[in-house]
Chain A
């Protein structure tokens, strides 16, 4: 068994290394001058430069992209919270004969190929005059955020002990105040995970943003991908810096999301 365990540990260590090293390497390259990147033998020792990061943060297109991403994703997530959480609570706590169908409908929205949604929406937004605007993007993303938040919040509400809510009813709370004052605070941690997940999903979204914007409403992923389209003319350090900037916001949620995963599986145990 001994050598087997050793090999197992080695494989795990290698996998752990592979999980983060490419990203760390990209971050390192963001601090390099071009001569230190374009080398046949990768260089670990070099004089760092802030020029790439400074260049990225000083570009109007990047700043506009950042602004668009923050506004579009933030608004869509807010809409998702306002519309998704109450609906999820109602499905979880007042199941009727449509509850199963509603859950399946919400999930089935995820089956729709993004191209199949993006092409007609582009034509529609063009006709309405909203093509390449943030409202069009926000409305389209709301479809994603509402359905994902609903899908993840239903089990979160179901895991709130029924007794607490029953006790509140006995104390004379109405149905709405039970939702506001009991269910929401008790389920808050899992709900935060669901919301964070929906944010990461729309922040990372590419195809719909690509099809629904041409200049004004470009989000950060689109701007980053355009930088690379200029090929080797753009110094690699700058590209790497833009990748780092794009990747940071989702990584901020690492803690919340891994806590969410843990809580999901702790429920199953009991």
Chain B
């Protein structure tokens, strides 16, 4: 359809120009702020160049936040993929078409909820005395108290479970749809060779879906970076600093505790560099 028309230019140029302005201005400005020593309490500032970054690497709480963020990424991405593939394959194997449709609708609901809502729902559910999720434990142990959100060892997993509740179930629907698009012949062939059901999936169907599954994982890795809402509502980074991810720490440095906007911005800049480099490399590899 190579026709001479002004359409591509009039349609693309304004939009891309606006996107460029809207994204580059804050990005570049974040770097500028990171090189200064701005604070919320005063309008004065001076240039301190890289000293914010040097301070960061001497800040043990920052290093802890890096570690918590890495843990969060790994736990949520792995758990989401395991739940998604497990439930997707199960639906493909044992659910009738009508049941599949019902499950698909149900499994999409959690991901549509605002993260704030999901966080509240589970914060109530995890309440040690009155929560519905801790009730079975109270019942079985005769009233012992289990408070997953206030124990350093379990808090991160308790919050991560909400993330997996939202994304794992949603991705299960996608895995099912992917399985449904596969041609039936290889599965039939494997069945004739007396392969067991799990073997068919482990050696035939899932390897055939390798590329889309990797893309799915890529999407989840990006979405897992947005952990702030859940953590802010459920634990505020606590107990102590057990669930304090980078964005949570940047927020509390910039806004709650000290108003050190420049220091927070330096953290944000490091996050930005790390994610842009990592995801650009991963994306090129996925595409290749």
Contacts and interface: CB of A to CB of B under 8 A. Distances in A.
To the question of whether A and B form a pair in one complex, the answer is: yes
Interface of A: 1, 4-5, 8-9, 11-12, 15-16, 18-20, 22-23, 25-26, 29, 37-42, 83-84, 86-87, 89-91, 93-94, 96, 102, 104-117, 119-124, 139-140, 142-143, 146-147, 150, 162, 165-166, 169, 174-176, 179, 200, 203-204, 206-207, 210-211, 221, 224-225, 228, 236, 239-240, 243, 246-247, 250-251, 253-254, 257-258, 261-262, 265, 268-269
B1 A166 contact: yes
18 contacts: A9-B94, A12-B91, A15-B169, A16-B102, A19-B110, A25-B132, A84-B15, A111-B276, A123-B33, A124-B25, A147-B19, A165-B1, A166-B1, A175-B5, A175-B7, A206-B116, A207-B229, A251-B113
Interface centre among B16, B172, B272 (most CB of A within 10 A): B16
B195 interface: no
Interface residues of B, number: 95
A262 B176 CA distance: 11
A205 B87 CA distance: 28
B85 interface: no
B23 A258 contact: no
Contacts of A106: 19
Given A12-B87, A12-B91, A251 B112 contact: yes
Contacts of A140: 22
A116 B27 contact: yes
Contact of A206 (B173, B232, B275): B232
A265 B19 contact: no
Interface of B is mostly: helix
A269 B1 contact: no
Given A26-B124, A246-B114, A115 B228 contact: yes
Contacts of A84: 15
B117 interface: yes
A221 B30 contact: no
B12 A243 contact: no
Contacts of B229: 206-207, 221
Interface centre among B3, B117, B229 (most CB of A within 10 A): B117
A86 B112 contact: no
Given A87-B15, A102-B12, A265 B177 contact: yes
A216 B104 CA distance: 39
A265 B181 contact: yes
B216 to A, nearest CB: 12
Contacts of A1: 197
